[in-house]
Amino acid sequence: QVHMVESGGGLVQAGGSLRLSCAAHTTIYRVYNMGWHRQAPGKQRELVAAITNGGTTDYADSVKGRFTISRDDAKNTVYLQMDSLKPEDTAVYYCNGDIRIFSYALVTNTDWGQGTQVTVSS
């Protein structure tokens, strides 16, 4: 089973920016619909941004206008640009979605990876 590897997290002051990246832990054929999720301590995991295979995006109200999800299909990588960060954005961020491991394989959903910690100080 394939899981995604997230990177780019860190500690940033409120108002700052971070860019997260997400790629499969092994070589795959193609990434399809993908989403960025986050989980803060004591809270349930929530979807914050999604992008379809065709590039259509959607965002949670809490991040709309501040976060931008994008994809690079040549690299099978998905990004999350986070601007105007707030302390309430502090969480572990994960990506997850649909992939095709080989050109002839079925589209499958990825396993959850370790995530990347984002901490926003006030």
CA gap 77, 104 in Å, rounded:
20
Q: What is the DSSP letter of 45?
A: -
- pLDDT (tens digit per residue) in 69-116: 999 999 999 999 999 999 999 999 999 999 999 999 999 999 999 999
- Whether 6 and 93 have beta carbons less than 8 Å apart is answered as yes
CA 59 – CA 68 distance, rounded (Å) = 8
CA 52 to the chain's CA centroid: 13
Q: How far is 118 from 12, CA to CA, in rounded Å?
A: 8
Question: Is residue 1 very low, low, confident or very high in pLDDT (cuts 50, 70, 90)?
Answer: confident
SS3 87: helix
